[in-house]
Each structure stands twice: as C-alpha cells, then as structure tokens.
A and B are shown apart, each in its own frame.
Chain A
Amino acid sequence: MTAVGGMWLVRRLVASVAIIFAVVTFVFILIHVAPGKACTGEPGETADPVECARRAREFALDRPLPEQYRRYLVALAQGDFGYSFSLHRPVREALADTIPFTLQLAGAALLLDFLLGLGLGIYQAGRVNRLPDLIIGNFTLFIYSLPTFWLALLLLLVFGEKLGWFPVGGASDPIFCPVVDSAYCLFDRLWHLALPAATLGLVGAAGTARFQRAAMLEVASQDYVRTARAKGVPERRVVLRHQLRNALLSFITRFGLAFPFLLTGAVLIETVFAWPGMGRLAFDAILTRDYALVTATALIASVVVVAGNLLADVLLGIADPRLRVRSGVDAESIAA
C-alpha cells in the first residue's frame, strides 16, 4: 500500500473510533436519562426498595451521571463490559454465549443474499425488459417489500407447522444436543438455522438483485461496453468481463451497507424463531433497563456497522485502481 493509502487508512481508523465513541456516549446518555429506575423493569420481580438501593450503591447508580460515565469508560478501556443485573452474570459472558448464534444467522443469510441476489441481478441484466427480466423483477420487488418478521411468520406457519419440514424455533435439539456432540447435532443445528437464515437471506437477496441489475445497466451505457460490443466481443463476454467486473465495484459498497439491515433483521427474526442471539439479548436488555448490557450491545452493533463501511472502502480501494490516488472514498455517494 502506498504512503497516501496508509495515511488515508489511519485517518479512517481514527474517524471510525471517534464515531463509535460518539455512539456509545449517545446510548449511555439516552438509557440513563430514560424514565424509570434500573429495578422497575424486570418482569416477574416486584420492585423492592431495599434491593433497589443496594443495587444502586453496588453499581454506583446513585452517583452523578458524569461520574458514572467516567467509571464506565475506565472499565471499558480495560476491556470490562460491566455486570448485567438482569441476567446476574458478567456482560462479557452473556455476549460470548449469544454472538456466535447471531454470526451463524447473519453469515448464512448473507451467503444466500449474495449468491442468489447476484445471480438473479446478473441474469436479469442480460435480458433487460424481456419476459424473464420482468417476471423476476416483479418477484424481487414483492419479496423486497415484505416485512421480514411477517415473512418469518409465514415460513414458520407453512414449513414449520403445516408441512413439519423444519423445527419451529430454537437453535438446536434442546434435550439431546446440549450434552452430546455428534454428526446428528451438526445437522440438527443447520436444520434449525434453515428457516431464520432463509427469511433474512431471501429479503436481502431481493434487494441485492434489484441493486445489481441497476448497477449492471448503469455500466451498460458506458463507452467501453459499447466499444467492446462494436469490436465484436461475444455478448456473454461483454456482460461478464466488461459489465460485471465494473458493476461489482458498487456491489462492494452494498456489502458494506448490508450490516445495518442484518442487525435490525436479527432483532426481529431472533424474536420470531426464539433464536438465542445477540439481537434478542439486546431487546431484552432494553426492556429490563440493563444499563451495562444495553451499552455493550449498542457498542458492538455500531462497531459492526462502522467496520462494514470501512471494510467496503478498503476493498473498493484495492479493487478499483482509479480510487487509489484519491484521499478517500465516500461509500454512500457511490451507492447513491
């Protein structure tokens, strides 16, 4: 990497850290100024004033907000996420238990999203305004417009309940698999993963297909594509070598922007399928006003979003030689 590129990366990294810091501060303030005390929100427990006072003392909740904030940052700098008082365990443990599940879900969904979405988009771009393009176009428009949680309920109803092909919730066989590890259990996990991942993946794929088709058409009117065609390059080669290669550049940007979608999706999908991931954890944390857990999940969420953007920019810099000399790439402006 050139010196200019190195400087650019350093500046981007510093900016990213600053953004994450601002997000954490915002969330910290928001959760602390929200009405209600830390012990009023727990379901199934009546607020006990003695317990409230004890907890307030233990977690320094009776101190002024700036001091709490300072303490929080000091702990965070040492890698301490704090203690979750709704789960009665360190936040780090709760995260370590749930994040792998969200990663599985998001990873599988992303794979389906990109494979199916790219395939459809490229296929359509080769047949613009002909029947297959119109049929797929209307279909992706429809899927793209579905609320993910509703699609999840439909798939659950049809493939889980009516046909019985897939389990209706959870991440694995609750009796057998927690204790034994076997080939059956690996299969069992994938089997549980299928419906939630398909829900997120399908909606994502519809968006990707629409995006990719538009990106291919955008490139199609460029001079170099016309030149290639005029030279007599076979159509297939024009589409794959000239159009696709350049359209993939904007696809990289879309990859960076996929994370916020997956995050929102995770909260909803994990709720519908009782998937024990971080989205569900964050939602429960908010409902119980679990300060440490809320700020920790928000921190991780913003790290994921910012890292996604950064990764897309770096990939774009590597993939597109035209951008290497420029000081920075504005992912959003290219996507638009």
Chain B
Amino acid sequence: MTLGSWLALFVALIGAAEIVRALRQRGLKHERWRRFFRNRTTSWGLGILVFLVIVAIAAPLVAPLDPIKQHDPVHLKNLPPSWTFILGTDVFSRDVWSRVVYGARVSLGIGALGALVAVSLGSLVGAVAGYYGRRVDAVLMRGVDVGLALPRIFILLMAVALWDGLPFVTLALAIGLTSWFGTSRLVRAEVLSLQQRDFVVAARALGAGDGRVIFRHVLPNAAAPIIVSAALGVGNVLLLEASLSFLGIGVAPPRPSWGNMIADGASSLYTAPWTTLFPGLAISLVVMSLNAVADGLRDALDPREEGGAA
C-alpha cells in the first residue's frame, strides 16, 4: 500500500460517513425516512454501500497496484498479508487488495445492471398484466409461471457456458432476463388493487391514454414493492454472478470479479486462504448491506405503518 492509497481510502471512509450523516439529518424531517433510519443496522448498511460505491468509482486511487499484472509469479505468489500487499497476493502473484477494489466495479456493476433489467422488465410486465387484465393477464402470467419453474442456474449455466466469451454486460443482461418473474407478480398484485382507486378512474375518465395512466398514475403508486425488490435484486444478481464466476464460467479472467477471485483462490485454499477469504467477505458485506437497506425500505415504505404509533 502506498501513502496515496491509504489517503484515498481514508477520504472514502470519511466521505461515506458524511453522506450518510447528511442523508440522516434530512431524513429525520420526514416520518417515513425517520422509520428508515430508526434501525441501526440499516444506517450501517447504507454507509457500507456508499463507501463501496465510492471505492469502486475511485478504484485507480484506492488500489496501489495494477489488478491484472503478475508481479513475480515465482517469488511473490501466495504471499500472506503484509504492509506492501495489505491483503496478500494470489496464486499468480497479483495484489489481492487491488483486485478486490477493481472487482467492486465489475461485481457492483453487474449487480446494478442486472437488477435494473430485472426490475424494469418485471414492473412493465406486471403493470401491463394487471392493467389490461383478461387475456393479456392470462398469457403473461402463464409465461411467468413457466419462468418461475425454470431451473434458473441451469439456464444461466447453459447460456454462459455455451455462448463462450460473452462480454460481462451480456452476463448482467442474461442474469437480469431470468430474474424478473417474482417482481412482475408483486407489481401485478399491487396494480390490481390500484386499478379501482379513484385517482386512476379519474385519470381515465379525463381521457388519459393507457401509457399515461400506467406510467404516470399506476406505477409511481406501486413504487414501494418495486424499490424493495430492486434493493434485494442487486444482491441476488451479485450472488448469481459470483456463483457463475466461481464455477468458472462467469466473468472471464484476468478481469477480477469477486466470484472469479474465489474460484482462483479455491485452488490454494489451504496454503493461501486469504485469496478466498477477502473477496467472499466483500460479497457478504455488500449483500448484507443491501438486505439491511431493503429491511429499512420495507419499514419506511409500508403504508400500514403510515401515521402509526412510530
């Protein structure tokens, strides 16, 4: 580690803490955001996420070394953590810390992109099915039934293993395209109940087109389950990417993703456990934070708690 990267890391930490503090200050004015911040774990989760996003963006500053360069495969391989290599080196003598930092870009990027695809598609299909009802609903929901019965891991393995060398954006798309079925059911249920509400009926009576009613009136009011499933979705996509990469068919080496780092490390699990330990810890930390934030969002956005005892 160089002085510069320590400094950058320190700044990232302070920055994350400051951002969360500012958000909290503003949030305390609103009832629902007060509920969000009521839980300690949620605030911590948010802080960790903000910190990791900053680190991912500022990767060249925070990582002291090139994540792909093999420094000396003979003498510097599988070194335990030290002041130079703060998290040790891997089997190819690459710096684990730098790889974890650059891996954040890949893993968080795939998580965000995949979840975006899944949530958009799920919301759209759910809203259309719920809004139009009858035939459209029947056809779409039978499709969703099939989607939920698909052995997703097999489908992804097939898609990724057989179409060799997919760029990682495609990987995110593939995961997103197989992850929207649950969301669409949630959104459909929400839309069905909104359907009868006065403001939707009024909008329609005023001559608003279907598209306008769906996007301006129905979907914004179905935001709560959508937001929560987006937060959970990022974690799920990230875990799937890690699983695929661990099986050796996700993000192609030498580009670091947390999953393929574990796959690399597993071969020397007993002699150099740190190469497996730290990327896994990073995954766990992110997924845990996302779950904590999703818990907080669920509390904050739950209409039943509105004006409640809290």
Chain A residues near B (Cβ < 8 Å):
15, 19-20, 22-23, 26-27, 30-31, 34-36, 137-138, 141-142, 144-147, 149-150, 153-154, 156-157, 161, 260, 263-264, 267-268, 271-272, 282-283, 286-287, 289, 294, 297-298, 301-302, 305-306, 309, 332-333, 336
Contacts and interface: CB of A to CB of B under 8 A. Distances in A.
Nearest to B146: A22
Contact of A264 (B149, B153, B159): B153
Nearest to A150: B280
Interface in B142-189: 145-146, 148-155, 157-159, 161-164, 182, 185-186, 189
Given A19-B149, A336-B225, A141 B162 contact: no
Contacts of A20: 149
Contacts of A142: 284, 288
B158 A305 contact: no
Which of A27, A149, A268 has the most C-beta atoms of chain B within 10 angstroms of its own C-beta? A149
Majority-rule SS of A interface residues: helix
Given A156-B269, A157-B269, A301-B151, A145 B284 contact: yes
Given A19-B145, A20-B149, A333-B189, A34 B163 contact: yes
Contacts of A31: 158, 162
B281 to A, nearest CB: 9
A150 B154 contact: no
A137 B269 CA distance: 30
B246 interface: yes
Interface stretch (B77-85, B110-118, B235-243): B235-243
Contacts of A137: 41
Contacts of B189: 333, 336
A157 B273 contact: yes
27 contacts: A23-B151, A27-B158, A30-B158, A31-B162, A34-B159, A141-B292, A141-B295, A142-B284, A144-B288, A146-B287, A147-B246, A147-B287, A149-B262, A154-B280, A161-B269, A161-B270, A264-B152, A267-B154, A268-B247, A272-B266, A282-B157, A286-B158, A286-B161, A301-B154, A305-B149, A332-B182, A332-B185
Contacts, number: 135
A138 to B, nearest CB: 6
A34 B154 CA distance: 14
B179 to A, nearest CB: 12
A141 B161 contact: no
B157 A286 contact: yes
A142 B146 CA distance: 32
Contacts of A282: 154, 157
Nearest to B192: A333
B280 A306 contact: no
A305 B153 CA distance: 13
Contacts of A23: 146, 149-151
Given A34-B162, A153-B262, A153-B269, A298 B151 contact: yes
Given A264-B243, A267-B247, 9 more contacts: A19-B145, A23-B146, A27-B154, A36-B162, A141-B41, A147-B283, A150-B283, A153-B276, A336-B225
Interface size class of B (residues with CB under 8 A): 35 or more
Given A26-B150, A283-B247, A332-B185, A294 B158 contact: yes
A34 B235 CA distance: 29
B291 interface: yes
A161 B247 CA distance: 22
Contacts of A157: 269-270, 273, 276
Nearest to B159: A30
Contact of B284 (A34, A150, A161, A306): A150
Contacts of B149: 19-20, 23, 302, 305-306, 309
A60 to B, nearest CB: 20
A162 to B, nearest CB: 8
B151 A263 contact: yes
A260 B182 CA distance: 13
A282 B189 CA distance: 35
Contact of A149 (B186, B243, B291): B243
A286 B292 CA distance: 36
Interface in B222-247: 225, 235, 239, 242-243, 246-247
Contacts of B246: 147, 149, 268
Which of B154, B243, B266 has the most C-beta atoms of chain A within 10 angstroms of its own C-beta? B154
Contacts of B280: 146-147, 150, 153-154
A287 B41 contact: no
Nearest to A31: B158
Contacts of A263: 151, 153
A157 B291 CA distance: 27
A141 B158 CA distance: 31
A154 B279 CA distance: 12
A271 B259 CA distance: 15
B235 A286 contact: no
Contacts of B152: 260, 264
A157 B276 CA distance: 10
Interface string B264-292: 00100110010011001001100110111
A302 B225 contact: no
B215 to A, nearest CB: 23
B273 A34 contact: no
B243 A147 contact: yes
Contacts of B153: 263-264, 267
A305 B150 CA distance: 8
A263 B266 CA distance: 22
Contact of A141 (B157, B283, B288): B288
A305 B292 contact: no
Contact of A138 (B41, B163, B273): B41
* 7 A-B pairs with least C-beta separation: A34-B162, A301-B151, A150-B280, A145-B288, A145-B287, A22-B146, A264-B153
